[in-house]
Amino acid sequence: MSEDPNSKNCKICEGKAFTTCSGCGIIICAKCSRFELIGSGCGWPAYYCPTCVQDPCVKPNAMLRDS
């Protein structure tokens, strides 16, 4: 379940909350979030934590991303 990004700090570095991870739902700051466009055409924005952005079970094209 996703957490409210306005109520807490980043779960990774304790920085100011920016959004929640589209994969696992943890609160992340702008520094720790990884932006991706998902879908087809123009797509839509998704933000992932550093763990989920590299996990092909969460994000199928993770293996195509540079670290």
Burial label, 28 (beta-carbon count in 10 A; 0-12, 13-18, 19+) = buried
Q: Tokens standing for 31?
A: 């520094």
Write down the pLDDT at residue 35.
Answer: 93
Write down the pLDDT at residue 67.
Answer: 57
- Are the C-beta atoms of residues 36 and 46 closer than 8 Å to each other? yes
Q: What are the extents of the domains in the chain?
A: 1-67
- Are the C-beta atoms of residues 3 and 26 closer than 8 Å to each other? yes
Full-model pTM: 0.79
Per-residue pLDDT of the chain (67 residues; tens, 9 = 90+): 566 655 689 999 999 999 999 999 999 999 999 998 888 778 889 999 999 999 989 887 777 766 5
Q: How far apart are alpha carbons 14 and 39 in whole angstroms?
A: 30
Q: Tokens standing for 52?
A: 């989920």
